[in-house]
């Protein structure tokens, strides 16, 4: 009976000190897990509204879940009185080792997260970046998949794209087509401009606003250069580009407007030598 009383007394003593903390700690863990679940659900709703990639959203869901719960458990362990310095040191060492081993992959992952959140381009856009250009087929976590105009597939690291200059040729609804036409110095400037405008006015894919622009841009060594700028819908850019080149040449031929080519004139001076007998 005496042993039972001593055991009961020690139990009450433990319960009033460490035991109470453990009970409170377990309660806090339960409440904390509930709060973390709500936070993750709220984050998922935000990602859905921003049309975040499904693969990235799933990864971030699991990543946040593990990190937040691990942080909560460490805080509760510290509250209860358990030493967490060894666990933190172990996690830190493991993180450094993994970071060094996967340096490039982590850089590409970070780049993928940035691209998927900021959306500098979307699937279907034609872009130029990291020394490559093509149509975006897929934006992955580590790589962006692109197809070239001759149907080659390119995988570009997201880290390179996120840290470099990216040109998006299809981001806007309209694009400007810039062309330069060269004619000889013996041609009438007004006739040339009228010829170019007549071709522009017949092209249905060229927009009226902003207005087409034709002007003399340079008096070159062997030609007078006319800059031509017209606007069209982005999808029609190359159709307008090639159509203008072809039809302006046909119009120049009809109007007998000459297109000069580089020439070099060589003058030979003959000198007569006096021969002394």
Sign of the torsion formed by the C-alpha atoms of 217, 221, 224 and 225: negative
Per-residue confidence (pLDDT) for residue 103, from 0 to 100:
59
Per-residue confidence (pLDDT) for residue 44, from 0 to 100:
84
Per-residue confidence (pLDDT) for residue 179, from 0 to 100:
97
Helix (H) or strand (E) holding 85: helix 85-101
CB 220 within 8 A of CB 151: no
User: CA dist 88 to 29, 32, 123, Å?
Assistant: 19, 20, 41
Instruction: Render each residue's pLDDT in the chain as its tens digit; 277 residues.
Output: 566 666 666 656 655 566 667 777 788 889 989 999 999 888 888 878 877 766 667 777 877 888 888 888 888 877 777 676 766 776 676 666 656 555 567 788 888 888 877 888 988 999 999 889 999 998 888 889 999 999 999 999 999 998 899 999 999 999 999 999 999 999 999 999 999 999 999 999 999 999 999 999 999 988 999 999 999 999 999 999 999 999 999 999 999 999 887 666 676 776 655 544 4
Provide the residue ranges of all domains of the chain, joining segments of one domain with +.
7-101, 120-168, 174-254
CATH topology of domain 7-101: Helix Hairpins (1.10.287)
Tokens representing residue 6 in the block: 């001593």
**pTM value?**
0.64
Per-residue confidence (pLDDT) for residue 224, from 0 to 100:
95
CB 259 within 8 A of CB 192: no
Per-residue confidence (pLDDT) for residue 247, from 0 to 100:
96
Per-residue confidence (pLDDT) for residue 197, from 0 to 100:
97
Fold match flag (7-101 vs 174-254): no
Per-residue confidence (pLDDT) for residue 195, from 0 to 100:
96
Question: What is the domain class of 120-168 according to CATH?
Answer: mainly beta
Question: What is the domain class of 174-254 according to CATH?
Answer: alpha beta
């Amino acid at each position: 009976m005496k042993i039972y009383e001593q055991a009961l007394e020690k139990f009450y003593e433990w319960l009033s000190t460490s035991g109470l903390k453990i009970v409170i700690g377990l309660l806090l863990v339960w409440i904390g897990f509930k709060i973390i679940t709500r936070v993750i659900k709220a984050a998922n709703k935000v990602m859905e509204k921003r049309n975040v990639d499904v693969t990235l959203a799933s990864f971030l869901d699991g990543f946040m879940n593990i990190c937040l719960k691990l942080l909560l458990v460490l805080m509760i362990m510290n509250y209860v009185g358990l030493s967490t310095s060894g666990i933190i040191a172990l996690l830190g060492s493991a993180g450094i080792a993994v970071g060094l081993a996967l340096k490039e992959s982590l850089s590409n992952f970070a780049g993928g997260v940035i691209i998927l959140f900021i959306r500098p381009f979307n699937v279907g856009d034609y872009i130029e970046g990291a020394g490559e250009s093509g149509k975006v087929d897929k934006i992955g976590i580590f790589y962006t998949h692109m197809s070239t105009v001759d149907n080659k597939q390119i995988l570009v690291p997201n880290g390179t794209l996120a840290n470099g200059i990216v040109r998006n040729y299809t981001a806007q609804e309209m694009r400007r087509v810039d062309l330069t036409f060269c004619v000889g110095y013996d041609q009438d400037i007004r006739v040339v401009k009228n010829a170019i405008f007549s071709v522009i006015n017949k092209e249905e894919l060229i927009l009226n606003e902003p207005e087409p622009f034709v002007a003399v841009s340079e008096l070159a060594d062997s030609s007078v250069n006319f800059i031509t700028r017209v606007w069209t819908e982005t999808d029609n850019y190359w159709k307008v580009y090639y159509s203008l080149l072809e039809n302006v040449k046909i119009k120049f031929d009809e109007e007998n407007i000459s297109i000069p080519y580089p020439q070099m004139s060589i003058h030979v001076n003959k000198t007569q030598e006096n021969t002394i007998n």
